[in-house]
């Protein structure tokens, strides 16, 4: 019986160590950029309409933009279109170094890996093509 109790205690201690290891947090420092562009989209599944919004913040200025889009089949496409609008806004402002922020992890992953899903292939291709004009560009 003592062997079973000892084995149970060992198992319990091992489980606590596994839980502690799983709780390790990794933090990545974002590069300090003077210009930050944020984009977001709201999408209606029933109407297939989307609202696209973007904000470009520089030390001197704060520029906002928005527009609506129709016949948008998914929220991912809406998020991609919003980010593309933000990229175009930065380009027209003559920005050379910029950090783009989006709450769509799937979109950011597709851009950074340059492996977009088929549904946003064209949008991601546009974003990457427009991004060539920046000296420094980060997508988070």
Tally the domains of the chain.
1
Q: What is the CATH number of the domain that holds 131?
A: 3.30.420.10
Share of the chain above pLDDT 90, in %: 75
Q: Summarize pLDDT for 114-132 with one digit per residue, the tens.
A: 999 999 999 999 999 999 9
Q: Which domain holds residue 99?
A: 36-139
- Asked whether residue 49 is assigned to any structural domain, the reply reads yes
Rounded CA separation 49/72 (Å):
6
Question: What integer pLDDT is reported at residue 16 of this predicted model?
Answer: 64
More confident residue, 40 or 33: 40
Residues shown for the chain:
140
Q: What confidence score (pLDDT) does residue 22 get?
A: 47
Q: What angle do CA 40, 43, 47 make, to 5 degrees?
A: 155
Sequence-ordered list of residues with C-beta below 8 angstroms from that of 42, at least 6 positions apart, any chain: 50, 51, 78
Provide the pLDDT for residue 32: 76
For the entire predicted model, the pTM comes to 0.78
| Four-point Cα dihedral 84, 87, 92, 97, nearest 10 | -170
The yes-or-no verdict on residue 43 having pLDDT over 80 is yes
């Amino acid at each position: 019986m003592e062997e079973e109790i000892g084995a149970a205690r060992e198992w319990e201690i091992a489980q606590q160590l596994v839980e502690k290891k799983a709780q390790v947090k990794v933090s990545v420092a974002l590069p300090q950029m003077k210009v930050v562009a944020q984009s977001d989209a709201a999408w209606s599944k029933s109407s297939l309409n989307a609202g696209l919004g973007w904000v470009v913040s520089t030390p001197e200025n704060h520029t906002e933009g928005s527009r609506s889009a129709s016949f948008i089949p998914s929220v991912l496409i809406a998020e991609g279109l919003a980010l593309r609008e933000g990229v175009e806004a930065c380009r027209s402002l003559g920005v050379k170094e910029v950090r783009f922020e989006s709450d769509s992890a799937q979109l950011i992953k597709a851009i950074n890996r340059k492996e977009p899903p088929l549904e946003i292939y064209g949008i991601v291709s546009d974003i990457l093509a427009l991004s060539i004009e920046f000296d420094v560009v980060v997508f988070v």
